Every structure is written in structure tokens, then in C-alpha cells.
Amino acid sequence: MQHYSYYTYLTQEEYDQASLSELIAYRMKNLRIDNSLSQEQLAFEAGLDRSYVGQIERCEKNVTVVTLDKIAQSLGIDLKEFLTFDSLIDPVKKIEVEELMIKNKDKKVTK
């Protein structure tokens, strides 16, 4: 797990092994930071308690779909976009892997 400017990014392996609660927590925190909101500000916008927002981000509380929708709306996106987690994969590692795949796509494997 890497942190760039307080964002949380995962390696592909970490992403594959992460629970849904963890993915929601990382996504929520990254979106909150993108919107320059504190936990308290997001909680106010979503009509939630500030401590509840922190508990969600720390994977201490499970969250309902209704609450997720309130959070997503407060972040200016719809729930479907909120639940798109591929942005959590480390962009540096993702680019390195993609470049390696492109570089090796034309090579033939011989025995």
C-alpha cells in the first residue's frame, strides 16, 4: 500500500485481496481528499455523525447502501461511480505493468 499526498493506493495483489469494506474505506477517503473535505465536513454534508465517517474510513463500521448513496451524493458523484474501485490501484505500478505488457506482447515464448 502506497500513500501519495495522503491518497491510498494498492498494488494489484492488495486490491485483489481487499475486502469490500476496505475498498469502500479507501475510495471514500480518496474522494473526500479530492473534494478537500474533512471528515467533519463530509459528515455534515451527508447528514452523518463525524465519528461514523471516521469509523467507515477505518473499516470499523459496516455501511448501508442508503448511507453510501448519501456519501456519494455529498462527494458530487453517483453511487455507481463511487463503487468503481480501479482508481485505487497504484498508478505508478499500473503504468509499469502496462508498459511491460506492451513491451512483451510481441515476444514469443520458446522452450
User: How is residue 89 annotated by DSSP?
Assistant: B
- Tens digit of pLDDT for each residue in 8-62? 888 888 889 999 999 999 999 999 999 999 999 999 999 999 999 999 999 999 9
Strand partners, 3: 8
Q: Are 90 and 3 in contact (CB under 8 A)?
A: no
| Helix (H), strand (E), coil (C) string for 1-52 | CEEECCEEEECHHHHHHCCHHHHHHHHHHHHHHHCCCCHHHHHHHHCCCHHH
Predicted model pTM: 0.76
Q: How confident is the model at residue 102 (pLDDT cuts 50, 70, 90)?
A: low
| pLDDT (0 to 100) of residue 92 | 65
Q: What is the dihedral of CA 25, 67, 87, 106, to 10 degrees?
A: 110
| pLDDT (0 to 100) of residue 14 | 87
pLDDT at position 4 over 50: no
